[in-house]
Amino acid sequence: MIAGEASGDLLGAALLRGLRELGEPPSALEGVGGPAMAVEGLASRFPMAELSVMGVAEVLPRLPSLLARIRETAEAVAAFRPDALITIDSPDFCLRVARKARAALPDLRVIHYVAPSVWAWRPGRAAKMARSVDHVLALLPFEPPYMQAAGMTCDFVGHPVVAEPVATAGEQAALRASLGIEADQPLLLLLPGSRRGEVSRLAPVFAEVGRALRARHPDLALLVPTMPPVADLVRDLMPPDAQGWPKLMGEAPAPQAEAALRKRAAFATADVALAASGTVSLELAAAGTPMVIAYRMNALSAFLARRLVKVASPTLVNIVTESRAIPEFLFEDCVPEKITPAVAALLEDPEAGAKQRAAEDRAMELLGRGGEPPGTRAARSVLSAIGR
């Protein structure tokens, strides 16, 4: 098993738990993973953090060591001769390993967890992947036909967001108390992204929306869940007003479990969220939080996105439910004067919030909520793919 980043480590750990629950734990296990997979018995060949790099500027200086790790890992697969090689997301690393390992072991069964989003852009990736991958575990219900058309088998196993716990009323109340937010005080979350480039472009816009809404609703509480790597930038670009709003949460390092709990509590207790486009929209939907999505790219990325991306909406709730339930303000529309009325409508109109929650609930059902946990479904699919 090979995972290259934190999200893949969690998927791999859930899959290993699923195999154990089904009575088929691997008798021997090797690969690369993080702390979650280590708990489930994987001794990583090298630190997974070596693979968790993004962007040309970060990758180029480390390219020789990454290429060496690809060769080393493929050679280890060939020596291990496993029943299956399971690669998890991180296609730039994982699929190169799979290609080299398949060259050494032509009969190697290769399973890839997380289908590439060929429905959104670069459809040729599926055919290229099919040269070294036999079976795919898909997170989204509409993905199997794309993989099957390229020559791979594929099962929809559910999105991991549906297995995440929702904060209890007590956890929500404790969070509000710790931040000085009254139990009945309306709360707006501002989520300008987790990367410095995103924050630089979105935080000033989100801050202006927050100020405009505070002028209309003086009792409105503003909260910015953030992470230590970008907290300084968030604080500079979203300074508090005379009453101390917005408040920042998560700027100091904390144990992973504690940080995750506080984040879930913030999402569940919020009345509305204004968020950057990304997976955070699914986390908000899982918590039943009405939201507005906004996003702005640099000029080159925007130029490429307009020409390469094939979907009308970047928000998975809208894609999965085939609706426009979640308002979106992208590119030149990502400006306070357009965003503010949409957020205000959700704060002021209970019916608008109820409609969004219904769409979010439907999206969670379509993504697997209410059925077997995704890790267990993934384990069943793996066992079927290797003929057990």
Residues 6+ apart with CB under 8 A from 29: 1, 16, 41, 42
What's the half-sphere exposure (Cβ side, CA atoms, 13 Å) at 252?
Answer: 2
Look at residue 306 in the predicted model and tell me its pLDDT: 66
Lowest mean pLDDT among 55-59, 129-133, 250-254, 305-309: 55-59
Average pLDDT of span 77-98 = 95
For 113-144, b where at least 16 C-beta lie within 10 A, e where not — what string?
bbbbbbbeeeeebbeebbebbbbbbbbbeebb
Position 18 scores a pLDDT of 97
| Residue 252, pLDDT score | 86
In this prediction, what percent of the chain has a pLDDT beyond 90?
80
Of 277 and 1, more confident = 1
Whether residue 122 is predicted with pLDDT greater than 80 in this model: the reply is no
Confidence of residue 278 (pLDDT cuts 50, 70, 90): confident
Alpha-carbon distance 337 to 205, whole Å? 10
Q: Please, which pLDDT band fits residue 305 given cuts at 50, 70 and 90?
A: low
The C-alpha atoms of residue 11 and residue 6 are separated, in whole angstroms, by: 9
Checking if the pLDDT of 59 tops 70, the result is: no
Q: Residue 55: its pLDDT value, please?
A: 45
151-202 confidence digits (pLDDT tens): 999 999 999 999 999 999 999 999 999 999 999 999 999 999 988 888 999 9
Determine the pLDDT at residue 194: 85
Confidence (pLDDT) at 53: 60
- pLDDT of 279 strictly over 80: yes
Q: How does pLDDT run across 332-387, given as a tens digit for each residue? A: 999 999 999 999 999 999 999 999 999 999 999 999 999 999 999 999 999 999 99
Read off the DSSP letter of residue 168: P
pLDDT, mean of residues 39-57: 80
Q: How many CB atoms lie within 10 A of CB 388?
A: 11
**In the prediction, which pLDDT does 121 show?**
64
Q: Please report, for residues 9, 86, 239, the alpha-carbon distance to residue 33 in angstroms, rounded to integers and kept in the order given.
A: 6, 12, 38
> What residues contact residue 208 under an 8 Å CB cut-off, 6+ apart?
336
Distances (CA, A) of 77 to 2, 70, 136: 10, 11, 19
Q: Considering only CA atoms, which of 95, 90, 98, 88 is closest in space to residue 10? A: 88
CATH topology of domain 2-158+371-385: Rossmann fold (3.40.50)
pLDDT confidence of residue 304: 65
What average pLDDT is seen over the chain?
A: 92
Burial class (CB in 10 A: 0-12, 13-18, 19+), 149: middle
Structure tokens at 322: 């085939």
pLDDT (0 to 100) of residue 36:
94
Q: How confident is the model at residue 314 (pLDDT cuts 50, 70, 90)?
A: confident
Orientation of helix 350-366 relative to helix 336-348, angle to 10°: 90
Per DSSP, the chain holds a count of helices (H) and strands (E) of 17, 11
Q: Cα(279)–Cα(263) distance, rounded to whole angstroms?
A: 14
pLDDT at 47 over 50: yes
DSSP3 helix / strand / coil % (the chain, rounded to 5): 55, 10, 35
pLDDT for 63: 80
Start-end of CATH 3.40.50.2000 domains in the chain: 2-158+371-385, 169-366
Residue carrying structure tokens 């691997």: 26
Task: Give the pLDDT confidence score for residue 94 in this predicted structure.
Answer: 94
Tell me the pLDDT band of 56, cut-offs 50, 70 and 90. Answer: very low
Residue 170: count other Cβ atoms within 10 Å of its Cβ: 9
- Tell me what pLDDT residue 281 has: 94
Give pLDDT, residue 307: 65
pLDDT value at 308 more than 70: no
SS3 category, 114? coil
Is residue 324 over pLDDT 50? Answer: yes
In this prediction, residue 117 carries a pLDDT of 84
- Domain range 169-366, CATH class: alpha beta
**What is the DSSP pairing of strand 135-138 with strand 187-191?**
unpaired
Give percent above pLDDT 70 in the chain.
93
Q: Which residue has the higher pLDDT, 56 or 300?
A: 300
